[in-house]
Amino acid sequence: MSEDRTFAAPTVVRLPRYTKADQEEILGTGDDPFGVDSAGLTWLPKDEHFGVRHGGRLVAHTGLLRLPIAIGGAETEVVGVGGVAVAPSVQGQGLARLVVTAALEHARTMGPRHALLFCRPPLVPLYRRLGWHPLDTDVLVEQPEGRLVTMPLRTMVTPLRDDARWPSGPVRLFSLPM
């Protein structure tokens, strides 16, 4: 006799807000949960947030915001993706894939032709697996007091439309990085 059990598959929900406490619920209260503090950068908060809850606890997040940018001298916008986080106890189970994919589905409705993210070099293979491509050009980003710095992390992009091709040339964000 088979037992009738229903296992709820994890689903992504839109979060009305995403606070420091929410991030700590996912990644804990450690000093440098994204491993990027040594870059010494100031980051932008994201505007739109997607998350996965498990047993009442937030266990995964991805944030989005539109960013003004110049690519090869042409001014346009990209959707910046950031704050990708999965709770250590449930990493390696596809939750980053799930929440990033759902966020990108929404990003396709936002207008820009590409999404862009910054990551530590060890995460390049993971994002490649999710369909992202590393840029081989320097990327300039703004910092407080109008400083312009070369992004020390890797920059990766993915198209948001079938016909989108990343243009060649230098890349300059007209904002803090996200």
- How many Å apart are CA 155 and CA 149, to the nearest integer? 14
Find the shortest distance in angstroms from Cβ 123 to ligand COA: 6
In the complex, least distance from residue 75 CB atom to ligand COA, rounded to whole angstroms = 26
> Closest Cα partner for 10 from 84, 99, 92, 83?
99
The contact pattern for ligand COA, residues 82-121, with x = CB under 6 A and - = no contact, is --xxx----xxxxxxx---------------------x--
In the beta sheet, which residues pair with residue 85?
61
Binding mask 7-46 for ligand COA (x = CB under 6 A): --------------------------xxx-----------
Distance (Å, whole) CA 97 – CA 101 = 6
Compute the distance between CA of residue 120 and CA of residue 129 in angstroms, rounded to an integer. Answer: 15
Residue ranges that bind ligand COA, judged by CB under 6 A: 33-35, 84-86, 91-97, 119, 123, 125-126, 129-130
